[in-house]
Amino acid sequence: MKHRKTAAVLLSASMLLCAVTAPAGTVLTAFADYDYVGEECAPAHDTSRDVQTEGVGNPYNFGERNTPADASTEEIRAINRKMSVQEVKYAMYKEIDEHWDLISVRLGQTEREKVYAIFLGLGTRESTLGGNGDGADVETAQLDGFGVNSAHAYGTMQTAVTAFADCDPTFMKEDNVPEMFQYTFNESNFYDAIISNHMGIRKILHFAEICINQHGMKGYQVIRNSLKGFNTGWCDMGDDGAYQTYADEICAMAQFYYNEGHLYDNVFTWTSSPAAEAYRTSDRWAWWGDGEPSMAPVEEKPPVEQPGVTPAKDVPGDVNGDGEVNAADAVTMERFLLGASAEMKAWKNGDLYKDDIIDAYDMVYLRKLLSEAE
């Protein structure tokens, strides 16, 4: 099997997080037993929203990608590196909200903010949510070459190459989450923060299916062992250190973000920090609740319509999401390709050649559509 992360990778990540220092320009906060870094600031989303039913609403207007698909790897990583901790958090929430029904059923969790928190804990365990000044631009196990090592991972959640389609065929396939699109493995996809988040969530659900169907797990053990699988490649129940040092630590840090009011600001903590000490209890998973994970079918639901907001529709060429294909879409795509804009509201509508990238060929196709419409 070539799916297991190496001990060296795990130790280096842990050492990095334990040795973290306050980046320039941030506010160091250390009250009593709490130890964390970052700026406490107002949420970026409209706080009048009912987050439980609507989510946070994508206040940063992230698209299906965070970067132009035809940009160089260096350019893509530079864009991700500029993300603030708050932007990194909302980028995660955007993907969670898009797949909320599926995530909620598979993990047995109906409280949206607890799911936000558990993924913040995962992001914290694998990086620092951008708090070291690296935004979502974090990479491990790349020294063997691109895509060679199964532990090679990228982004806030450190999503491994194994999550992607068409990676090394000797890696165990993760093709058991048909409800979520599986991106093809290439540098453009791998190094995009939004895609990495999408694939990280998909990877957790990949292990959730195995936990439920192959191991017959119930309750919190599904998310606990899915996290273990994310780290080790194996989600079978066992008495090993991966629970204490990884899954259970993620649960403790998740409670720090959830209970201390740091879901939406620039504050981050790190592995083994005193910040989460109050939550490193023997029954820490009681916080997660007693919902039951399920493989029940999940139906696609239309996006929740907000007053004055028209949800994006699947209209080929309508990249600005206004429901029409016109000259404004050509301007939006051109700015995207030139790097003047990092996102398009309806990215999938711009992939006219259906090859998972937006490039000059799609621009030519869009112009053809516009000329035919005249």
Chosen domain end from 241, 263, 298? 298
* pLDDT value of position 336: 78
Is residue 21 domain-resident? yes
Contact between residue 185 and residue 165 where contact means Cβ atoms under 8 Å apart: yes
Backbone angles phi, psi at 76, to 5 degrees: -60, -45
Same domain, residue pair 219 and 368: no
CA–CA separation, 211 vs 233, rounded Å? 12
Q: Determine the Cα angle at 106 with ends 291 and 152, to 5°.
A: 125
Same domain, residue pair 334 and 368: yes
Same domain, residue pair 276 and 335: no
* pLDDT value of position 247: 96
Number of domains in the chain: 2
What domain range is 265 assigned to? 7-43+55-298
Q: Using the CB atoms, write b or e for 251-283: b if 16+ within 10 Å.
A: bbbbbbbbebebbbbbbbbbbbbebbeebbeee
Paired strand residues for 184: 165
Is residue 66 domain-resident? yes
Backbone angles phi, psi at 184, to 5 degrees: -70, 145
- Write out the chain's pLDDT in tens, 374 residues: 333 232 223 333 333 333 333 343 444 444 445 689 999 999 999 999 999 999 999 999 998 899 988 899 999 999 999 999 999 999 999 999 999 999 999 999 999 999 999 999 999 999 999 998 999 999 998 888 899 999 999 999 999 999 999 999 999 999 999 999 999 999 999 999 999 999 999 999 999 999 999 999 999 999 999 999 999 999 999 877 889 899 999 999 999 999 999 999 999 999 999 999 999 999 999 999 999 999 999 976 554 444 444 445 678 888 887 778 888 888 888 887 776 555 666 767 888 877 767 778 888 888 888 887 77
Contact between residue 255 and residue 288 where contact means Cβ atoms under 8 Å apart: no
Is residue 325 domain-resident? yes
The Cβ-side half-sphere exposure at 72, using a 13 Å CA radius, reads: 3
What is the CATH number for 18? 1.10.530.60
Element (H, E) at 255: helix 248-259
Task: To the nearest 10°, report the CA torsion of 89, 210, 303, 289.
Answer: -70
Let me know if 285 is exposed, middle or buried by CB neighbors in 10 A (0-12, 13-18, 19+): middle
Same domain, residue pair 237 and 199: yes
Is residue 337 domain-resident? yes
Token pair, residue 210, equals 């195995």
Q: What is the pTM of this model?
A: 0.75
* pLDDT value of position 30: 46
CA–CA separation, 185 vs 197, rounded Å? 14
Q: What DSSP state is assigned to residue 244?
A: I
Q: Residue 91: what residue type?
A: A
Let me know if 66 is exposed, middle or buried by CB neighbors in 10 A (0-12, 13-18, 19+): buried
Same domain, residue pair 274 and 331: no
Contact between residue 176 and residue 206 where contact means Cβ atoms under 8 Å apart: yes
